[in-house]
Structure 1
Amino acid sequence: MSSNPTKHRIGLILIGIGIALLLVASVLAYVELFASISMPQPPSLESVLYVLTIVTYKVAFIAVIAWAGAILITRGLQAL
């Protein structure tokens, strides 16, 4: 019986951290939506590949943060 309150607290902490990570991922995605990537003129294959690389990196970074937050929320709910 003594581990039950501890398990409950750990579950709530994991849920809180997971929600915080999801909020951070949402804010980062919102900020990046309005941030502009400057393309050198005239557009060339190198500039297009550069933009695609930057966008892919940012999307992957935000996806990993959201994925980690979702896993923490799931583990927290399982601990409750």
Structure 2
Amino acid sequence: MTETLEQLFRQYYTPSAQAERQREIEEYHRQLIGSLEKQERKKVLRIIDAKDMIEQEHTLESFVCGFRLAWRILSELYGKP
């Protein structure tokens, strides 16, 4: 079931349009990386990667919860005479 929900998520999920905010983040990221030594850069990149993974997992979990809620509501509406 989880695999099916993940496939539905990939098929129907559309990221919100926040292009300006994304450009701002990338600019700050470039500025920060440019001012750090190699070891500090690696740490910052690990933090950013971890944050992005948490965000992706949260988005998927939210989709799955919403889908399950919709499924329960439909079952209650149409499953009982």
- Relative to the length of structure 2, the TM-score reads 0.48
